[in-house]
Each structure stands twice: as structure tokens, then as C-alpha cells.
Structure 1
Amino acid sequence: MANRLADATSPYLQQHRDNPVDWWQWSAEAFAEARRRDVPVLISVGYAACHWCHVMAHESFEDEAIAARLNAGFVSIKVDREERPDVDAVYMTATQAMTGQGGWPMTVFATPGGQPFFCGTYFPKDQFARLISSVEEAWRDQRDAVIQQGAAVVEAVGGAQLVGGPTAPISVELLAASASGLAKEQDQMYGGFGGAPKFPPHMNLLFLLRHHERTGSAEALEIVRHACEQMGRGGLYDQLAGGFSRYSVDATWTVPHFEKMLYDNALLLRAYTQLWRITGDVLARRIADETAAFLLRDLGTPQGGLASALDADTDGVEGLTYAWTPAELITALGEEDGTWAADLFRVTTRGTFEHGRSVLVLARDIDEADPSLVERWRSVRRRLLAARAGRPQPARDDKVVASWNGLAITALAEHPAAESRAAAIRLAAVLAERHLVDGRLRRVSRDGVAGEPAGVLEDYGCVAEAFLAVHQLTAEPRWLELARQLLDVALARFGNGEGGFYDTADDAEKLLTRPADPTDNATPSGASAICAALVAYAALTGETSYREAADAALATLGPLIEGHPRFAGYAATVAEAALTGPFEIAVATTDPADPLVEAALRYAPGGSVIVVGTPDQTGVPLLADRPLIEGAATAYVCRGFVCDRPVTTSDDLRARLKG
């Protein structure tokens, strides 16, 4: 037995390095070995923070008898879906085609050529053992049928990922239909969309906020406000340390699936920040501040990037770190405060989670309560967090994913705290120094070293958008030029010739099919992310060819935005910015602390581009020909390359941005 995961950069693969299974990393050599031995391939896909991945590992992949059968009859390949989203996309499409659903761990049996012929997700140990026998028997006795089934699945996968479908140019009517569709699907009681399990709809919230800003829709704003309040007071949100879990297992946001992902928190940070900007909501500002602090404190790596996730499990037990009993609260806080905290956080002897324990939720509004109650609440939180720090803590997946760090950089750049903006600049430097290799992006790094997997389209889009956000913070031409380089690669290497995009480059590793998924799911699709960066770059530079590329790509996403809005949240968010103009705001000043600067940052609608600097600053197109008016700081507001009269007061600027 020769498990080949010891040198893997992926923490998920490292978790399996001591399994008795003879794991291979994804490679041409693994498939060549399957052909040499004339055996099928097991492709097992998961990620480090995945609870059921851990369960299947403990039950099956750590079992000596099952491992011996896999080693004798298969070549087994372990894949980190976060490191290889292209591989994951191909086999997830196959799994959904065969079973009608998908998820992780993903379990795929394939031919030595990689064609899947049986797909599934988690299998309990006994069921997995029977499945191994069935696959061995089919490979031995029904080889032709197996190969034919694999070919049929590949054909279905290719059909599901065809490009060049119908288009619909972005219009007022299309975005109104999308917003109306979301309104019909909202959970009016608990906020968000759909039932259990319920995921935070961060990209839909960003869209509805921009829709409100453009149209004045009170309904769109209320959908966002209600969802943000319910999520922020629920168990999905860590009431002690900040940060959101991946999803809620119920419809009420009470009990989370406890892994905390970088991408969720980055996108939710943007949503809560923008909600605060629009409404001044105290809870929204607090949660934005705490989420930004969580990102930097708990996900920051020694090498300067942000780690991917905190695990759902602690010592193999889901939620061990986070849940409480009334007795544990009293032990940590004393009788009086412990009883008070149990009432505030809805901790009962019956419990809301396993073994009579409860996940903390806020039973009532506390942010604007009597100051003495607010201070008591803050004291209780500090003491409970200190007590929780003495418990075993969840493991951390410390690989740095380019696209997710890009999402976080953009969110931190938009957050009003100076430390957040400074962190955004530092993180951008990490991506530029470590993930950009010979003009191309690498998907992941770990311990400061870039891994081999090439960047996919979402990496190019999210990182380009992040570099543009940092250009707006610093007015440094470097970031504008780096973003342009990434966009040029995306246009040249990922475009499909019909306005849309593939998820992998034309010179990337050839898989069964070339993935091209336009849907926004846990993260923005590559197409949506690229569109966001193209729209922003065109607004910052005035180079209309990039805007034309964005409009063509958005048209390919139009039918999805209109017909399936829950799966097109980021595309619709970008479309709102494109329809608005977006606002192009240049603040010419010799004093970065001028109140006009803060007014621009506070009141600019979502999707706006803002640059602050001296008149005619070299290498900054938005500041060209922007003189000071009578020596005062001056704001120039344009939309769609057409400019209004410059203003010099915060009130005038705010009125202009609301117009």
C-alpha cells in the first residue's frame, strides 16, 4: 500500500494521508495505472470542512477491510473540490444527471478513461461495501454495459454544459421580473428563501439592495432587512465570535451546519455593509463589523492570506465547540448572569441541538436596548467567549483560494473601518505576489507557496474585481493594470466566441467536457464574476470594449436572471450596476480626510466606482481633467460616461447620488 497524499498541498487530502486506502491525487498517472491494471476508478470528492466527508472517511476509508478491497480492485483518487472546481463540476453534473441530486462527499465510479458509470454521495459503511461488490461484479461480468452507460452519462454531461443558448439583453423589465420572482419565494416568517436546509442568500440580497437603490422599491429593501435581521439573530450567526455558518438545517436559522466558509462571510459582509449604508441599521453595522473582525482574526494565515474554512466538527463531534446547556452558562457566568443569558439566548433544558444542548440565538432585539442592558450583554458575550476558548476548537482549512480571497478583499474594501480597508490592500498584495505566476492565476496556495492547479474563470473574475476595489482605495495605477491583465486573459482564454465563457481556459487540462456553469450557487459563477470586473473596469477607465464584452456576457445570463433568480443573484447584482450606469465618482482633493470623501464612500449606490486623489493623478483615468473648484475638494459624478456638474459639499453630493 502506498498512499500518495503525503505531499499534497490540500488540507483535505492531508486528512486522508494515513488512510489504509491507496489514494492517488488527481493525475494522468492515476488513470494510466487503472488502464495498466484494467480496473475501474473510484473518484472521491469532498472538502476539509465537510461533516459527512469526515463521517464516510471514519466509517469506510479508515476501515482496513474496505481499504483492502478498494486497493485490490480499483484505483482510488481523492479530490479536493475547492482546489479542483473544474473536476468537481464535471462529476457533479454527472452525479445530478444520474441521481437527480448532488452533494459532498461525492462518490463516483468511472472507467480508466474517466467516464463515470455510477455516481452517488455519502454511503454508510455497509451500503458502501455492497456497492463495491456490485461495481466489481459489473466490471467483471457486464463490461460492455458499464462502458455504454459511461458513454451515455458523458453525453448527458456534455448536453448539460452546452454554451450558446438563448440570450436576453438586460432591461428594466427583466430585472423587475427577477425581483418579483424572489419576492414570491421569500419566507415571510423567517426571512430568506425556501425551506430546510436554508442557505444564506447573500447574492440575492446584494441584488435586491441594488434594485431598491435604483427603483426605490420598499418591498426589495424589506426582504433584505428581514432576512438580515433573522439570520443575524439566529444560530446561523455565531453570537459570541461573529461569522456565519454555511447553512441552517432548519427553516428558522436556529441550528447551523457549523462549518464557516470564507466565501459566505465575505459575501454577507458586503450585504450587511450595504444595508447599513442605505438604512443606518444598527444591527447591520454591528454584524458587518463583527464579520470583518472574524475574517481577519480567525481566518488570517501567518503568510498573509485568508484561510478557506473552519471545520464543522471538533474532535469528530459536530458543533462541540458552540452549543450550551443552562448549567454550562451558570458555570461560566454565575447564577444570576447565567440565568439571564439562558433567557436571552434561548438556552433551555430541552435544547435545540443534540444531547440537550442549545445553539445560541438572540431571543430579542438588544442592539438598541437600554445602555445598561447592552453593556451587560457585551460583558456576557466576552465571558462566554473566554469560556468557549477553553473548549476544543474546530480545525481550520488553511489553504488560500484565489477567488474567495478576492471576494473578501472586495468586501473589506467596502467596509467602512480603516483596518478593513488596510487589510484589503495587504491581501491584494498577497494574491499579486503569490498567485500570479507568469501572468496567469494559480487557484490555491498554502504556507505561502502556490499550488499547481490553474485558476478557473471565477478566480480571474473575483481577483480582478478585488484589484479594482483596491485601486479605488489607493488610486494606485498598479492595481488597475493588474486587473486589466486578468481580464485580457479571461477574454482571450475563457471566451466561447458567442459572448459567454467557459469555466476553464482553452489551454487547461482537458476533462470529459469543458465546464461552463452560469449559475450562482455558493459563490458567484465565473461568468457573473467576470462581468462584475468588466463593468467596473470600463467605468474606471472609459474603455468601452470591456463594457461591450460585459453587456454581451450579461445577455447570455439574462434568461437565467429572469427565469431562475435564486440561482442568478450575482449576475442580477452586476446587471443592476450596468443598468444604473454605474455611477463613476471622482473626488479630486489634496486632503483624503475631507468630508466629501467619506460622503462618497458612504452614500454611493452599490456597484459604483469611486476614486479619490489629486487632480490629473498619473495613471488614474477617472481623475483626468478633474480640477479643484475654487481650491476645494470637488466630486465629479458620471453615469455611463456622461457627467453632471461637479459639487463641493457633502449635501450636494448625497443629493446627486440619490438622483
Structure 2
Amino acid sequence: MNDNRLGSAVSPYLRLHADNPVDWREWGPDAFAEARARDVPVLVSIGYATCHWCHVMARESFADPEIAELLRQDFVAVKVDREERPDVDASTMAAAAAFTEQLGWPLTAFMTPDAHVFFAGTYYPPTPVGAHPAFRQVLGAVLDAWRDRRTEVHANASAIATAIRQGTTEATDGGGDGRGGAEPSLPSVDTIRGVVDALAQGEDADHGGFGGAPKFPSAPLLEFLADVAADGDDQAAGLLERSLLVIARSELTDADGGVFRYATKRDWSVPHYERMLYDNAGLLAIAPQDQARGIADFLRDTLRRGDGAFVAAQDSESTIDGRRVEGEWYRLPLGERPRFDPPPLDDQVLTGWNGLAIRGLAIAGARHGDDEMLDLARAAADAVLAAHVQDGHVVVRSSTPRGASTAPPTIEDVGLLAEGLLELALVTGELRYATAARSLVDDGVAGALEVDPVLAASGTATGEQPQTALRSGTVALANASALLGALTGDDRSRPAAARLVADRARTGTTRPLGHADALGVALSLQQPSRELVVVASDPVVLHELRTLAAAARRPGSVVVAVTPEQARAWSAAGFSLLDGRDALDPAAYVCHDHVCALPARSPEELTAQLASS
């Protein structure tokens, strides 16, 4: 009997498994209630739609009728899309760290009916390979433990759950997400700059980048280097320039401009061919003009939906001459690719990841004077606001053409979308994006987010965990809060931002890879403030002044470009930095802590003021 329940799922990853003989369930209280009623363990298999080794394990094991029967008889089997449910993934990954250092996807975990992990690993082959047991062997060993050593199983599971609870409590003690309370200490500017020295020691002098194989683009780390470089650090500037150059020239960047998830070799060769929205969006914010234009073209031509939103990823696998193969389509010359179907898309629209793309396009569009990038950002913002935001609150994390997921929005969605909308508002002068961002920041700072009921009951909700490839939603929320403070004069915003990033930034001084984005915001919060306000009714003049101001962006600065009419609207909406800025046209104001020099009336005057400020 097959009772697979994934056929109606919204997630493309879950739907890929709808035809498995395994009786898959979606994550939720019902699956764990069934396990309690049957007194069986829960297999939780976590992956995502473009994950190559997830595909491999599905073909080797989850399509096997004998394994499916074993799972049906002795387990409740639950499939989770880590993109749809990052909360479940983060909690399970934290528990899995007790069993293996080689964390990744597919993530294979075994839980008690109380949702406590008692064993976990990643990919398991169909037959033993070296020290890696076969999946059947793992299932047999888990069942033996469940039947014969139940007391030990529960003791281990309880200990892991307790460790997760303690770790989560320690990470949040002394901080708090509200606007009240004392401002916590941030690592000093000198300490943050010292991190660059440590990164320089880890640079691969032969091939560029950091460390050995595999090599990741690590956009948050590179953006941290960009922040320190903009603050006058030549060493950071050199590390950034060399890293971006090798990424652009290596096999990690495809001929169409898109960037693959990582390279399997130290010399940046042999990519892992899946292409994620978050990698490309993160690089957009810091890439030089040609590289940024290539990435924007990839987003426009491959990941963009008809409504303007961006889907999550493109697969590594495609069908060539009837064979399902990894990477072969990408290895074809561009001119030959149209002969074959391209790798499929993970067609989820994720709120947070789109926020990251909006931010990257807005920053790059302003810096490089590229209006098409701004148009792409506007269209994505409008699509996400229409479908995923209601009455100023994020109500949908993930949607596809089949509908909206029931997965609750996370801090990633609120923070990244707020930051992206605010950056777009600053560049375009469109007030509606700023007011939407302000509402989202209020939500995020207040901590008004739903916790998954299974994780809440088990006490294993971890909150947002450090990430090496994706900008943190918590950090993005902090940055958006600080920017809003500069725009409104609200003196509560900076302490709120500091509370959000303080713990992460302190950890980042010794472990920068997962916390580089927090270090960048901590640096920004400790710099003298600088506000650049550009006002012009002539589009050509506004464009030129805005590009000059954007190029001068550095930590601790806010840059806003508006028409006189927009300046009046912003002022009326409570953004006091724009008060009275409609009096002169054109005018560019270079201000420090809201105290402004005489307005520059031409690009030449603005250039001179920026050089001396």
C-alpha cells in the first residue's frame, strides 16, 4: 500500500518525491502524532529541489520498493524542503552536529515521536562504500536501537535536545530584540579590522579565495571585505579584488554570467553546477560593473518569472540525449545549449531570497548607473509585496504557481525583504518601498514571528543559525533598523540594531566565515554617520548625482536620491532627513550626523565635497 501524501505539496522538492513508493508525509504535528500512536521512530529527510546528491539518494534508495516497504512498516517518513522550512533544517542540523562533522544535504535524521533527534547523517549509498554504511544498514541499526535500547535512545535524544535549548538560550541572553534596554558592547573597530589580518593569512596564494577545496563564493564574507575596504583598508581591498577576479575568470562563473554554488577543486575548477539565487544576489552588491551586469543578465534571463519575482535556483542536472546527467548542459557552448532542454528550475519564490536580490540589484544599479537593474528590482519588489505581504506584514514565505506554502515566515524573510525594499527606496526615491520596509522592521524588532508547533513543543527551535553563503535575516534587519534611524532621526534604532548583531559580531571576531555580515554591520554602527541626500527634478542630473553619491558609499553612510516632490512626501511621512530638501533643485547635501555642508549644485561640486568629507 502506498500512502505518499506529497502530490498536493507546494514545494517543488516535495513534489519530486510524490511518485516514490515511500509513504512520505509533510512535516507537521500529524506525522509525529502518527509515530506516537504506532510507537515508531520518524525518518526526516531534508533536501532541496536542485540538490544533486538528494537526487542521487532518491534514485538509489527512495525509489526502491523494498526500502519503501521497510520505511512503511517501521517508520513514519517525513520529507522536508530546507528552502521552504529553514527553521526545521536549522534545528535538525544543530542536532546532527552531534553525529557528524560533514554536514550537508541530503540530511538524514531519525527522531523520536517527540521530535528529538537520536541519530543523523547525510547521504547514504545503496551499498557500503569504505567507512560509509549502506542506507539499509543504517535503517536496520536504527531499528535495533529503537527496539532493544529504547532507554538509551531517549537519553541520547533528550541530551541533544537539552544542548540545543541551552545553546539557543546562551545565544540570546543579554541581547534581546526589542527597542528597550541597554545597548550591548560591539567588538571595537580595531578588533574588526584585525579579522582582515586573519583572513589574509588564510588566502590561497596560488589560486585565490580562502582555504582549500571546496571553494565557495561566500558573498557575505566578500561584502565584509568591501565594507572594510570602503573604510580605507588597502589589505581588505586587495583581498576583495583578487577574490572577485578569480571568481569571474574561473569555471565557477558560467558563460551566461551566472555563478555556480561552489567549485569542488582548490583551483576553482569542476563546479557543483547548481545555481542559487542567493549566491548571485549577494555577489551583485559588491561585484565590479561587468561582473554585476553578467549576474543581472542571468537573473533576468533564467531565474525571473513573468511577474518579475525570482525563483530560487537552477538545477545541476539536465537530460541530454535521454540521459539524466550533472553539468553536461553547462559544459556546452552557449550556441549549442538551445538544442537541449535546460536544467529545470526550483520554481519557489522565497520572500527573503527575493529581498536579497532586490537589495543587490538596487545597490549595483545605483553604483554602476544601470537603470535596468533598478527596473528588475522594482518588478521583483512589486511582485513579492503583492503576493507575500499583507497589511505591512510578511504572511507568505514561499509560493509557487501551485499556491502559497503554509510554512511560516522567518526572520530571513522579514529582515532581507525589509533591507532590500529600503535600499530600493533610497535609490529610486519611491516612498512606498520605504514605508513597507519600516513596517517590516517594526515587526522584526518586536519579534512577532510564529514558531513551528512541533519545534516549540520539543523545545528545539534554534532561531536563525549562522550561514556562510546567505546574508543573515537578523543582520539585515539590524542594518535596515540603523538606516531607518538615519532617515527618521529615531535614536532608538541604533541600539536596536546593536542588540541584534552584538552576539554574532563578537563570535565573528574569531569565526568570521559564518558571521562576516554581522561584523560589517558592527563596523558601520561605530563609524561617524554620513548622510548624502541628492535632489533633482531633471532625470539626467538626478542619475549623475546619484551615481556619484552611490560610489562614495561607505560604512555608516546613508545615500538617498529623490525628486523635490518625493522629498516632500518623505518628509511628510516622518523621514526627517528629507525635511526642507525640496527648496533647491538640483542640490546634493553632504551631512554628518544630520549637520550638512552647503549644498552642492553640480556634479563637480559634489565630487569636491565627497573628496574632502
The TM-score with structure 1 as length reference comes to 0.84
| 1:15 corresponding residue in structure 2 | 16
- The DSSP-based 3-state class of the residue aligned with 2:279 is helix
Name the CA shift for 1:17/1:507 in 2 (closer, same or farther; >3 Å). closer
CA spacing shift, 1:180–1:448, aligned 2, 3 Å: farther
Asked if 1:428 is matched to 2:367, the reply is no
Which of 574, 578, 584 is matched with 1:623 structurally?
Answer: 578
> Quick check: 2:224–2:517 contact (8 Å CA) kept in 1?
yes
The separation in 2 between residues aligned to 1:463 and 1:601, in whole angstroms, is 21
1:613 to 2:563 alignment: yes
| RMSD, aligned CA | 2.0
Aligned match for 1:135, one of 142, 158, 177 = 142
Distance of aligned partners of 1:556 and 1:655 in 2 relative to their CA distance in 1, 3 Å threshold: farther
Question: Which residue is equivalent to 2:406?
Answer: 452
CA–CA separation in structure 2 for the residues paired with 1:489 and 1:146: 40
Contact 1:261-1:309 within 8 A present in 2 as well: yes
Q: Hey, what's the Cα distance between the residues in 2 that align with 1:122 and 1:448? A: 29
* Contact 2:42–2:76, Cα closer than 8 Å, also in 1: yes
* Counterpart-to-counterpart distance in 2, 1:205 and 1:440: 29
Offset at 1:656? Answer: 3.1
- What is the Cα deviation at residue 506 of structure 1? 5.8
Amino acid across the alignment from 1:397 = D
- Structure 1's 560 and 23: CA in aligned 2 closer, same or farther, altered over 3 A? same
Amino acid at match of 1:188: A
C-alpha distance in 1 between matches for 2:61 and 2:467: 33
CA distance in 1, matches of 2:378, 2:187: 33
Once the two structures are overlaid, the 10-residue window that deviates more, 408-417 or 241-250, is 408-417
Deviations, residues 442-498 of structure 1 (Å, cap 9, x unaligned): 21111173321111111111000111122113323222221111111112125xxxx
Q: Which residue of 2 aligns with 1:380?
A: none
Q: 1:156 to 1:13 in 2, by over 3 A?
A: same
Amino acid at match of 1:143: R
In the TM superposition, residue 517 of structure 1 has moved relative to its aligned partner by 4.2
Assess, with a 3 A threshold, how the Cα gap between structure 1 residues 520 and 188 changes in structure 2: closer, same or farther: same
Question: How many angstroms does 1:230 deviate by?
Answer: 0.7
- Aligned pair in 2 of structure 1 residues 548, 506: CA closer, same or farther (>3 Å)? farther
> Is 2:335 the partner of 1:386?
yes
How has the CA–CA distance of structure 1 residues 75 and 292 changed in structure 2, closer, same or farther, with 3 Å as cutoff? Answer: same
- What TM-score, normalized to structure 2? 0.90
In 1, distance between residues paired with 2:79 and 2:173? 34
AA matched with 2:334? L
Name the SS of the counterpart of 1:161 in structure 2. Answer: helix
Partner secondary structure for residue 535 of structure 1: helix
The CA deviation at 1:196 is 0.3
In structure 1, the residue corresponding to 2:4 is in which secondary structure? coil
Q: 1:643 to 1:579 in 2, by over 3 A?
A: farther
- Structure 2 CA distance for partners of 1:544 and 1:199, relative to 1, 3 Å: same
Separation of aligned partners in 1, 2:501 and 2:116: 33
What amino acid maps onto 1:611 in structure 2? A
Query: Contact 1:536 / 1:609 at 8 angstroms: preserved in 2?
Result: no
Correspondence for 2:130: none
Structure 2 residue matching 1:557: 3-state secondary structure: helix
Structure 2 letter corresponding to 1:401: L
Shift of 1:609: 2.8
Change (3 A) 1:441 1:577: farther
Residue identity in the other structure for 1:75: V
CA deviation map 1:553-588 (0-9, x unaligned): 232223123221222221122233323345322112
Structure 2: distance between partners of 1:17 and 1:507: 24
| 1:235-289 superposed Cα distances (whole Å, 9 cap, x missing partner) | 0000x211100001011111110000000000111110xxxxxxxxxxx321110
Residue 603 of structure 1 and its aligned partner are, at CA, apart by 3.4
**Separation (CA, whole Å) in 2 of partners of 1:206 and 1:448:** 35
1:318 aligns with 2:273: no
Matches within 5 A, 1:200-349: 200-214=217-231, 216-238=232-254, 240-272=255-287, 284-315=288-319, 316-323=324-331
The separation in 2 between residues aligned to 1:145 and 1:604, in whole angstroms, is 57
Is residue 412 of structure 1 aligned with residue 419 of structure 2? no
SS in 1 for 2:374: helix
The one-letter code sitting in structure 2 at the alignment partner of 1:229 is L
CA distance in 2, matches of 1:152, 1:509: 18
Tell me if 1:570 matches 2:521: no
Q: Does the C-alpha gap of structure 1 residues 562 and 652 become closer, same or farther in structure 2, counting only changes over 3 Å?
A: farther
1:596 aligned counterpart, secondary structure = helix
- Distance in 2, matches of 1:291 and 1:440, equals 27
CA distance in 1, matches of 2:454, 2:428: 37
Cα separation, 2, equivalents of 1:652 and 1:246: 43
Question: How far apart, CA to CA, are the structure 1 residues paired with 2:290 and 2:590?
Answer: 30
- SS of residue in 2 equivalent to 1:109: strand
Alpha carbons of structure 1 residues 549 and 92: separation in structure 2 relative to 1, 3 Å: same
Distance 2:277 2:37 in 1: 41
Following superposition, the deviation at residue 392 of structure 1 comes to 3.7
**1:76-132 alpha-carbon deviations (Å, 9 max, x no partner):** 000000000000000000111222331100000111111111100000013100111
Q: Displacement of 1:628 after TM fit?
A: 4.3
Tell me the distance in 1 between the aligned counterparts of 2:610 and 2:452.
44
Match of 2:475 among 523, 528, 535: 528
**Can you list the C-alpha shifts for 1:23-78, whole angstroms capped at 9, x where unaligned?**
00011111111111111100000001101001100000000111110011110000
The partner residue of 1:158 within 143, 165, 190 is 165
**Equivalence for 2:492:** 545
- Residues 28 and 454 in structure 2, CA contact (< 8 A), matched pair in contact too: no
Contact 2:276/2:313, CA 8 A, preserved across alignment: yes
Work out whether residues 535 and 562 of structure 2, in 8 Å CA contact, stay in contact via their aligned partners in 1: yes
Q: 1: distance between equivalents of 2:293 and 2:61?
A: 42
Residue type of the alignment partner of 2:75: F
Provide the rounded CA distance (Å) in 1 between the counterparts of 2:601 and 2:206.
Answer: 45
Q: For residue 398 of structure 2, what is the amino acid of its counterpart?
A: V
- More off after superposition, 609-618 vs 295-304: 609-618
Q: Where does residue 145 of structure 1 map in the other structure?
A: 152
Distance 1:448 1:651, change over 3 A: farther
Moved more, 42-51 or 414-423: 414-423
- The amino acid that maps onto 1:263 is Y
Question: Which stretches in structure 2 are left out of the alignment for 5+ residues?
Answer: 128-133, 175-183
1:4 maps to 2:5: yes
Give 1:202's aligned amino acid: A
One-letter code aligned to 2:38: R
Helix, strand or coil for the counterpart of 2:79? strand
Asked whether the equivalents of residues 550 and 559 of structure 2 are also in contact (C-alpha less than 8 Å), the reply is no
- C-alpha distance in 1, partners of 2:295/2:394? 31
Deviation at 1:508, TM superposition (A): 6.6
Q: Which residue of 2 aligns with 1:197?
A: 214
Deviation, structure 1 residue 310: 0.5
Q: Take 1:644 and 1:192, find their aligned partners in 2: how far apart are those partners?
A: 41
Partner of 2:88: 87
**8 Å contact kept, 1:588–1:623:** no
Which 4+ stretches in 1 moved above 6 angstroms?
A: none
Q: How many residues align?
A: 576
Partner in structure 1 of residue 447 of structure 2: 493
